[in-house]
């Protein structure tokens, strides 16, 4: 009897030791984005959303391998340089990290997706998955698509599709002015806007289509004057950062009171800068929504985010999907080491996104299909404001599973 | 025509703002013979200080207090930094101001972060003063014009009509002689440096709400300020004014009119290649005036340096 007892105790102790040892297993995700320099606010915002999603949606719930493992985010600063990113990618791989997350700048994403494709081909023992959370260049899931790359954000074309739906539904809009930064993304936005408007509302006249030097314009007033002089009923721009603030303030300051459609016209000080003037004018097309919260869970998730990071904003709702979807794929495979099987599990995965509604990782091109919203700046009816300014973005047009049937030119080669 | 008039006014605002920055820099240069690389950083400090004060007391107190703080800070930098470096020659001075610019930018990011600050016009001036063909002209810009003009006239009066101005001008050209006559030349230098930086601070205070208050604002204006004083003539106040206005209008009009290279080339009898996107001269054919706008001041500087190396109104050959 005594023997049996001690055996039992021994077994229990051994079991406990085993579970605690297992709970310490960390599945690491390398977060490669700008964490210093002029674009650091973008990178830091993304990092905070990742950390929050990992804590709330995976680790606290014990959602990874039944609590036997936890996610850990390992930040790498790439200073928004493609060259630096490739070095950091190598460092991460050498450290044994198998999941690479990046999103700020499509230029960097293009470099990473190529490098990862080559690496995986040459090193079948240390393959990695590329989790792209916000680089929106359509090419990444079309001509340049590859099996290891997964895009969680809606790409530029999908956002433009939703945005032009909103414009097409507004009979007052007869003339549109397109203005953007002079580089690949600005050009892609202009091309998509022209194409979609031509399809949906051929009667709309594009009264201006121009590109300005990126980051070089000190005063946008002359551009604003042209917008006013063109008698446009709406402006479309892909501008971000300082160019977004400068352009928006100049156009509104010149007396423009009609909608300004943007991709990145909120958070990081932009909403606070637009202030009262931007209410009812500034629109933003993006994945998911913060206001109004989709569910009680979404509200609790967002509220606890703001408790933890009062100085930052949950400006990229789709980023909250990366950790739970990766966890589900790892659970399906049963371990975090068989990267190829995990990539296959991610393909076609359906997920109930906490901020993006029903979300599907489309099998044909690894583009997440999710709720895309056109949001408008407002100061009333907000659950959460941006920049602690009392102003925020409210979803006005909601498109579930946006652009699910949009064709892709991707010819995926599977290993 | 209406748009032309609006652009004249916009260019005037841009030019006068540039002048507020250049006037201080050009004075400091003629005094110390060294370019103050940190000048635009004092402009940035002015904007941030004014923003911080405005969150507590509103815009107007910030307008008065922030330039004073920046000026005192500038004077202290001169007294305890530059003066010590001065005896080792111009290169260490140059490097000192360069390092100072980097330091100020980092310090600002440390305290205020990297985002844009929500520094905006005062409520009292937040309305359209008038409108030309639907283009409203904000009252705040009218205010900017008056502040800049007022600053220019005050400066001109002090430098040419008062005793202090005479001493400064004399100390600029013959510091030893002035010192021998019993004037405290180091104090004059410190004063000029302080006032110069205070003017940069004032420019920051009134430009912050319009051009944005963010850590990159100094870098954005830093190079154009030097271009302006080189065009105007180093050390010349009138030159700084004229050059600032020329650059203000140049940039405004360049951005305002979509003159395309395609039209010009077609006018001269060239035909646009069929498949322009694969053509080696694609960049030339698709060039527009707004795209080359930002480099026009630099082109102008090259021309001025070739044709009149001392600048438009400069007196010295150096």
Looking at the fold, whether A313 and A360 belong to one and the same domain comes out as yes
Residue A195 lies in a domain: yes
Helix (H) or strand (E) holding A75: strand A69-77
Chain B contact probe: residue of A244, A273, A385 with most B CBs at under 10 A: A273
At A6 the pLDDT is 56
Residue A415 lies in a domain: no
Among residues 105-124 of chain B, which lie with CB inside 8 Å of chain A? Answer: 113-118, 120
Residue A406 lies in a domain: no
Looking at the fold, whether A186 and A143 belong to one and the same domain comes out as no
At A241 the pLDDT is 80
Cβ separation B10–A253 shorter than 8 A: no
Residue A202 lies in a domain: yes
The better pLDDT of the pair B289, A53 is held by A53
Looking at the fold, whether A249 and A234 belong to one and the same domain comes out as yes
Looking at the fold, whether A180 and A245 belong to one and the same domain comes out as yes
* Residues whose CB falls within 8 Å of the CB of residue A143, separated by 6 or more in sequence, listed in order: A409, A410
Looking at the fold, whether A280 and A323 belong to one and the same domain comes out as no
In the block, which residue shows the tokens 């063909």?
B133
User: pLDDT-based confidence at A24, cuts 50/70/90?
Assistant: low
pLDDT surpassing 60 at residue A14? no
Mean pLDDT in residue range A117-124 = 94
Looking at the fold, whether A147 and A78 belong to one and the same domain comes out as yes
Q: In three state form, how does the secondary structure of chain B look?
A: CHHHHHHHHHHHHHHHHHHHHHHHHHHHHHHHCCCCCCHHHHHHHHHHHHHHHHHHHCHHHHHHHHHHHHHHHHHHHHHHHHHHHHCCCHHHHHHHHHHHHHHHHHHHHHHHCCCCECCCCCHHHCCEEEEECCEEEEHHHHHHHHHHHHHHHHHHHHHHHCHHHHHHHHHHHCHHHHHHCCCCHHHHHHHHHHHHHHHHHHHHHHHHHHHCECCCHHHHHHHHHHHHHHHHCCCCHHHHHHHHHHHHHHHHHHHHCCCEHHHHHHHCCCCCCCCHHHCCCHHHHCCEHHHHHHHHHHHHHHHHHHHCCCCCCCCCCC
Residue B284 sits at the chain A interface (C-beta within 8 Å):
no
What residues make up the domain containing B56? 12-222
- Number of domains present in the structure of chain B: 1
* Residues whose CB falls within 8 Å of the CB of residue A359, separated by 6 or more in sequence, listed in order: A321, A325, A350, A351, A352, A353, A368, A369, A370, A371
User: pLDDT-based confidence at A1, cuts 50/70/90?
Assistant: very low
At A5 the pLDDT is 55
pLDDT surpassing 90 at residue B186? no
- Number of domains present in the structure of chain A: 2
pLDDT surpassing 90 at residue B166? no
Q: Using one digit for the tens of pLDDT, what is the confidence trace for A165-187? A: 999 999 999 999 999 988 878 88
Question: What's the first-to-final CA gap in chain A, in angstroms?
Answer: 57
> Which of A168-172, A265-269, A318-322, B302-306 bottoms out in mean pLDDT, i.e. has the lowest?
A265-269
| Average pLDDT taken over every residue of chain A | 89
CA-closest candidate to residue A189, choices A274, A108, A247, A261: A261
At A79 the pLDDT is 85
Give the CA radius of gyration of chain B: 21
At A3 the pLDDT is 54
Residue A136 lies in a domain: yes
Mean pLDDT in residue range A109-126 = 94
Residue A28 lies in a domain: yes
In terms of residues, how long is chain A? 415
At A10 the pLDDT is 52
Coil, strand, or helix at residue A196? helix
User: pLDDT-based confidence at B184, cuts 50/70/90?
Assistant: confident
Residue B50 lies in a domain: yes
At B118 the pLDDT is 84
At A146 the pLDDT is 92
Looking at the fold, whether A135 and A39 belong to one and the same domain comes out as yes
The partner residue sitting opposite B128, judged by closest CB among A245, A255, A269, is A255
A372 by Cβ neighbours in 10 Å (0-12 / 13-18 / 19+) ranks as: buried
Residue B166 lies in a domain: yes
Q: Using one digit for the tens of pLDDT, what is the confidence trace for B262-299? A: 888 888 878 777 766 667 777 777 788 888 888 899 99
The string of DSSP letters for A277-303 reads: HHTTTEEEEEES-SSS-SSHHHHHHHH
> Which of A1-15, A303-317, B50-64, B137-151 bottoms out in mean pLDDT, i.e. has the lowest?
A1-15
| Cβ neighbours of A275 in B, within 8 Å | 118, 120
Residue B138 lies in a domain: yes
In the block, which residue shows the tokens 């004092």?
B42
In the block, which residue shows the tokens 């551009």?
A223
In the block, which residue shows the tokens 């922030």?
B66
The partner residue sitting opposite A225, judged by closest CB among B10, B114, B212, is B10
| Cβ neighbours of B120 in A, within 8 Å | 273, 275
In chain B, % of residues over pLDDT 90: 42
Residue B245 lies in a domain: no
Domain harbouring A358, CATH code: 3.40.50.2300
pLDDT surpassing 50 at residue A21? no
Looking at the fold, whether A212 and A312 belong to one and the same domain comes out as no
| Average pLDDT taken over every residue of chain B | 88
In chain B, % of residues over pLDDT 70: 98
The better pLDDT of the pair A215, A364 is held by A364
Looking at the fold, whether A179 and A80 belong to one and the same domain comes out as no
> Do strands A234-237 and A260-262 pair parallel, antiparallel, or not at all (unpaired)?
parallel
pLDDT surpassing 80 at residue A323? yes
User: pLDDT-based confidence at B123, cuts 50/70/90?
Assistant: confident
Residue B232 sits at the chain A interface (C-beta within 8 Å):
no
CA-closest candidate to residue B249, choices B231, B264, B270, B236: B231
Looking at the fold, whether A211 and A284 belong to one and the same domain comes out as yes
Looking at the fold, whether A59 and A128 belong to one and the same domain comes out as yes
At A175 the pLDDT is 94
CA B165, B168, B172, B173 torsion-angle sign: positive
Residue A120 lies in a domain: yes
Looking at the fold, whether A185 and A64 belong to one and the same domain comes out as no
What residues make up the domain containing A242? 157-292+372-399
How far apart are alpha carbons A314 and A318 in whole angstroms? 10
């Amino acid at each position: 009897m005594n023997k049996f007892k001690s055996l039992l105790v021994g077994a229990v102790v051994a079991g406990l030791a085993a579970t605690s040892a297992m709970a310490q297993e960390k599945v690491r995700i390398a977060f490669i984005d700008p964490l210093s320099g002029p674009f650091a606010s973008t990178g830091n915002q993304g990092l905070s959303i990742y950390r929050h999603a990992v804590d709330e949606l995976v680790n606290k719930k014990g959602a990874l391998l039944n609590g036997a493992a936890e996610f850990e985010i390992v930040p790498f600063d790439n200073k928004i340089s493609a060259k630096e990113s490739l070095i950091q990618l190598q460092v991460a791989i050498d450290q044994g990290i198998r999941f690479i997350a990046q999103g700020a700048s499509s230029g960097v994403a293009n470099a990473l997706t190529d490098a990862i494709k080559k690496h995986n081909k040459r090193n079948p023992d240390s393959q990695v998955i590329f989790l792209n959370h916000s680089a929106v260049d359509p090419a990444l899931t079309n001509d340049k698509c590859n099996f290891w790359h997964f895009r969680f954000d809606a790409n530029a074309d999908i956002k433009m599709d939703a945005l032009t739906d909103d414009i097409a539904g507004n009979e007052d809009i007869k003339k549109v002015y397109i203005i953007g930064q002079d580089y690949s993304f600005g050009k892609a936005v202009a091309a998509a806007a022209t194409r979609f408007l031509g399809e949906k509302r051929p009667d709309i006249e594009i009264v201006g289509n121009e590109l300005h030097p990126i980051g070089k314009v000190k005063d946008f007033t002359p551009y604003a004057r042209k917008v006013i002089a063109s008698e446009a009923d709406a402006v479309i721009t892909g501008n971000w950062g300082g160019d977004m603030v400068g352009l928006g303030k100049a156009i509104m300051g010149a007396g423009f009171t009609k909608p300004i459609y943007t991709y990145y016209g909120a958070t990081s000080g932009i909403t606070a800068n637009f202030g009262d003037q931007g209410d009812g004018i500034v629109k933003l097309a993006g994945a998911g929504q913060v206001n109004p919260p989709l569910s009680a869970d979404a509200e609790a998730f967002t509220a606890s985010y703001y408790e933890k990071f009062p100085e930052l904003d949950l400006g990229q709702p789709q980023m909250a999907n990366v950790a739970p979807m990766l966890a589900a794929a790892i659970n399906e495979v049963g371990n975090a080491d068989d990267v190829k099987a995990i990539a296959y599990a991610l393909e076609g995965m359906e997920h109930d996104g906490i901020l993006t509604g029903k979300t599907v990782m489309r099998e044909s091109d690894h583009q997440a299909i999710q709720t895309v919203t056109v949001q408008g700046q407002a100061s009333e009816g907000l659950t959460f404001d941006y920049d602690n300014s009392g102003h925020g973005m409210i979803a006005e047009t909601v498109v579930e599973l946006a652009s699910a049937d949009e064709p892709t030119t991707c010819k995926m080669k599977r290993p | 025509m209406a748009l032309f008039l609006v652009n004249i006014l916009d260019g005037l605002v841009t030019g006068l703002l540039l002048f507020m920055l250049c006037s201080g820099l050009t004075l400091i240069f003629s005094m110390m013979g060294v370019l103050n690389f940190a000048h635009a950083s004092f402009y940035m400090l002015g904007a941030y200080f004014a923003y911080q004060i405005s969150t507590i007391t509103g815009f107007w107190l910030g307008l008065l207090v922030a330039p004073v703080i920046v000026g005192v800070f500038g004077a202290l930098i001169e007294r305890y930094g530059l003066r010590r470096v001065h005896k080792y020659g111009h290169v260490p001075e140059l490097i000192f101001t360069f390092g100072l610019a980097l330091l100020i930018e980092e310090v600002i990011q440390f305290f205020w972060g990297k985002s844009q600050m929500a520094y905006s016009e005062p409520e009292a001036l937040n309305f359209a003063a008038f409108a030309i063909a639907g283009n409203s002209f904000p009252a705040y810009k009218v205010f900017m014009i008056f502040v800049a003009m007022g600053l220019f006239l005050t400066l001109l009066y002090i430098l040419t009509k008062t005793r202090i101005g005479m001493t400064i001008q004399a100390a600029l050209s013959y510091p030893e002689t002035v010192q021998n006559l019993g004037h405290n030349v180091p104090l004059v230098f410190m004063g000029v440096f302080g006032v110069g930086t205070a003017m940069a601070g004032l420019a920051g205070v009134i430009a912050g709400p319009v051009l944005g208050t963010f850590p990159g604002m100094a870098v954005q204006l830093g190079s154009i300020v030097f271009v302006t004083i080189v065009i105007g003539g180093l050390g010349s106040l009138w030159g700084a004014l004229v050059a600032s206005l020329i650059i203000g209008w140049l940039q405004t009009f360049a951005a305002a009119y979509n003159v395309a290279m395609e039209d010009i080339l077609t006018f001269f009898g060239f035909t646009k290649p069929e498949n322009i996107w694969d053509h080696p001269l694609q960049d030339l054919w698709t060039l527009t005036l707004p795209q080359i706008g930002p480099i026009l001041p630099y082109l102008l500087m090259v021309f001025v340096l070739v044709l009149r190396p001392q600048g438009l109104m400069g007196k010295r050959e150096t």
